[in-house]
Amino acid sequence: MVLVREELEKIGKEATKYLRELRENPSSTQIIGYHNGDTTRVADKRSEDYIFELLKTTGHNFLFVSEESGAVKTSENYDYIAIIDPLDGSSNYVAGIPWSSVSIALYDKNTQSFLDSSLGVVAEVFGNNIYSYDLNGAYKNGQLVEKSNKKPANIAIIYYEREQINKISQILAKLGKIKIRSLGSASLDMIKVCLGDAIFFADLRKKLRNVDIAASSSFCKRLSMIPLDEKGRPIENSLTTVSEFSEVYLSTPDILYNILKDL
């Protein structure tokens, strides 16, 4: 017996419902720890625990790789690796800004490549949309999504540090007339690009982690948009530990080639 996309969608929906209810409790925003230069709040940890329990009820064994707890095995003989961000966009969640998500990517235990997740879900916490994928394609709210043929919106979603301003200036010069946004949930940001609601995504801060974008990266791959690193290679990362990327870029192949060839 194997897990199917519909099961994972249900888990995503349950987790986001839990987070919406938890948001009504003032203690949910309290900081209870620190990890890798980031904070852990009550909502982060409780969402992680809840997702772990929901996945365990499927009857499968997992190696969980999650933002708050790192790597956790339910059995030495696990069936899947589950890379999880229990609350992507936690600062937005705390501030009441409706742009955050739950992200789960499943890999067969023998998978070697970060972009070869077989099943996954990204569920909006405060919105109505749930994005998922399996080996047959990408889905929005249960409906198969085709590669977008519409002209992308002239919005670039970019994250960078002050010392990278010269590099950002080079990128913007190549993009031309564009509006810049930093929305705060990388998984949802990337999906916006893949669906044509933005034209470009980049994170240059060396802070973006595999747990943040495992599911969104494989969702985008189903739509023929491959996230690249600063050398123009498909991104790779650990499947068994929480680890950062150096830089991540996402757009159409022609735009990425033009951007990265001279950087």
With cut-offs at 50, 70 and 90, classify the pLDDT of residue 76: confident
**Order of all β-strands in the sheet with 62-66:** 70-73, 62-66, 80-88, 101-108, 119-124, 130-134, 137-140, 143-145
Check residues 198 and 33 and name the one with the higher pLDDT: 198
Q: Which of 52-56, 148-152, 210-214 has the lowest mean pLDDT?
A: 148-152
pLDDT at residue number 263: 77
pLDDT at residue number 37: 62
pLDDT at residue number 119: 96
pLDDT in tens, 23-53: 888 777 777 676 666 777 788 899 999 999 9
Residue with tokens 């996402």: 250
Judge whether residue 95 has pLDDT over 80.
Answer: yes
In angstroms, the CA 188 to CA 157 distance is 11
Percent pLDDT > 70 in the chain is 97
Are the CB atoms for 41 and 91 separated by under 8 Å? Answer: no
Q: What is the mean pLDDT of residues 196-217?
A: 96
Residues pairing with 108 in the sheet: 80
Judge whether residue 63 has pLDDT over 90.
Answer: yes
pLDDT at residue number 152: 85
Residue partners of 17: CB distance under 8 A and separation at least 6: none
Residue with tokens 């940890």: 45
Are the CB atoms for 109 and 79 separated by under 8 Å? Answer: yes
pLDDT at residue number 1: 60
Q: Tell me how crowded residue 244 is: count the other CB atoms within 10 A of its CB.
A: 15
- Considering the four listed CATH numbers 3.40.50.1700, 3.40.190.80, 3.40.50.2020, 3.30.1360.20, the one that applies to the domain covering 155-260 is 3.40.190.80
- Quote the mean pLDDT of the chain: 92
In CATH, 5-145 is 1.20.1560.10: no
Domain ranges of the chain: 5-145, 155-260
pLDDT in tens, 230-252: 999 999 999 999 999 999 999 99
In angstroms, the CA 151 to CA 44 distance is 36
